[in-house]
Homo-oligomer: A and B are copies of this chain.
């Protein structure tokens, strides 16, 4: 480390390769709801390390293409699903010396929520990517520490479902309150009481009614259909749904 007089001079002599740098990747846990069950998108690794294993979509930051970390995450989401807009959220960063055989490695984990239909069309052609029901994904030995990464994202999803409207962003709009409640229940992992649910959601004033429709079965009374109001994603309830939260 030399002694330079100005920052300009310092930067001219600065060589990034003088330091040992950890690998930096971004991984994305992309969730959707298919047939009422929570699914995660996995891709089969075509290269070493862990060639042939299933893993979260992810990769290295492209310093030319990506302005920031969320751009890397968004790029991966787009490559695998063709979907851009949706809920994208940073979950955590895991870095240690043993998670990658190539050396000290850091991965920034994101979570994306998308409704099933739009993803379907584009994800299918990519033959090495498919949706897995969460339990089946967990049973496998995934690449790197991706089992743990999925658990972390799943846990955040569960916990935020307790006090936000997150599930509204994993189903297609418009939806009936019954459909929304089913999404809440699947993401929470517990049942919620119908009246409480409706009271809470409607009182929050974050949905707007957009007509009515029939249930999938084609039977029974028509349901009012809703879509989230702009900014409703930000809404947080003061009380948590379904009992005590873990931190």
Given contacts A67-B97, A95-B69, contact A7 B49 (CB under 8 A): yes
**Cβ-defined contact, A164 with B247, below 8 A:** yes
Given contacts A69-B93, A97-B67, A108-B95, contact A16 B102 (CB under 8 A): yes
**Cβ-defined contact, A108 with B96, below 8 A:** no
A195 CB, nearest partner CB in chain B, Å: 19
Contacts of A96 in B (CB 8 A): 67-69
Given contacts A4-B48, A24-B22, A245-B236, contact A69 B106 (CB under 8 A): yes
Contacts of A17 in B (CB 8 A): 17
Q: Per-position contact with B for A150-178: 1 when CB-CB < 8 Å, else 0?
A: 00000000001001100000000000000
**Cβ-defined contact, B11 with A16, below 8 A:** no
Contacts of A20 in B (CB 8 A): 16, 63
Given contacts A94-B69, A240-B238, contact A7 B48 (CB under 8 A): yes
**Cβ-defined contact, B103 with A16, below 8 A:** yes
Q: How large is the interface on A (under 10, 10 to 19, 20 to 34, 35 or more residues)?
A: 35 or more
A138 CB, nearest partner CB in chain B, Å: 23
* Bound complex: CA A66 to CA B22 (Å): 12
A17 CB, nearest partner CB in chain B, Å: 6
Given contacts A90-B92, A93-B108, A238-B245, 10 further A-B contacts (CB under 8 A): A1-B47, A4-B48, A7-B50, A17-B17, A19-B60, A21-B23, A24-B24, A68-B95, A234-B247, A238-B240
